[in-house]
Amino acid sequence: MEQFSRNTSTASTDNPIALLRACHVKIADHTALLERIRQHIDLHGVDDAAQEAIEKVIRYFVQAAPLHHQDEEVDLFPLLAAAAKAEDYEDVLDALAFLQEDHIKLDTLWQSMLSQLQTILAQRSGNIDPATLRLFAAAYQRHIEAENSLILPYAQATLDQATLARLGQSMKLRRSPG
């Protein structure tokens, strides 16, 4: 997977593009954690450490990842689509369409992973299917690379400070309790 910067100190809703990149780092980290969990279970079974790690992954992909997808689908992608249409920038429009469809595929893959993880927790036995894990990890890798290589640089170059501030405010509200 593409090497990501681990410096997330500028990742806040005040810098929404950095926050989106930081989310990509966290998605990659949690996907990699799934492989480490699988290896751990092979050696130690479903012990307390495996259960804690599984619960951490579930929390992330049930709570944070959907917010990230909403940030993109509800706020970022429509802004970029409007700009790309005005500029007749077909590469961006094609990428946005792919990424929106890909969110549905990623959710389907996650549901399969979630089912496995919940079964492992409930039974305190079993392991993550390596084929399902490879599909899940590869799908997210491809998705993140598409966003990081084209969409986020385009957003950074295209959106003015006022638009970025509105995007950040929307992301902040989405994460606010109540």
Q: Which residue carries 């994460």 as its tokens?
A: 175
Least confident interval from 59-68, 100-109, 155-164, 169-178: 169-178
Least confident interval from 50-59, 113-122, 168-177: 168-177
User: Residue 10 has what pLDDT?
Assistant: 53
Per-residue confidence band for 178, with pLDDT thresholds at 50, 70 and 90: low
How is residue 70 written in tokens?
A: 């909403």
**7, pLDDT greater than 50:** no
Least confident interval from 3-17, 53-67, 69-83, 91-105: 3-17
User: Residue 13 has what pLDDT?
Assistant: 83
User: Residue 36 has what pLDDT?
Assistant: 98
Q: Are the C-beta atoms of 68 and 17 separated by less than 8 Å? A: no
User: Residue 64 has what pLDDT?
Assistant: 94
Pick 175 or 12 by higher pLDDT.
175
What is the rounded distance in angstroms from the CA atom of residue 59 to the CA atom of residue 8? 20
How is residue 13 written in tokens?
A: 């809703």
How is residue 17 written in tokens?
A: 């593009």
Q: Which domains does the chain have, with CATH numbers?
A: 16-175 (1.20.120.520)
Q: Are the C-beta atoms of 84 and 92 separated by less than 8 Å? A: yes
Over residues 34-42, mean pLDDT: 97
**Phi, psi (rounded to 5 degrees) for 159:** -85, 130
pLDDT tens for 116-140 read: 999 999 999 999 999 999 999 999 9
Question: CA nearest 103: which of 132, 146, 60, 134?
Answer: 146
pLDDT tens for 157-174 read: 999 999 999 999 999 999
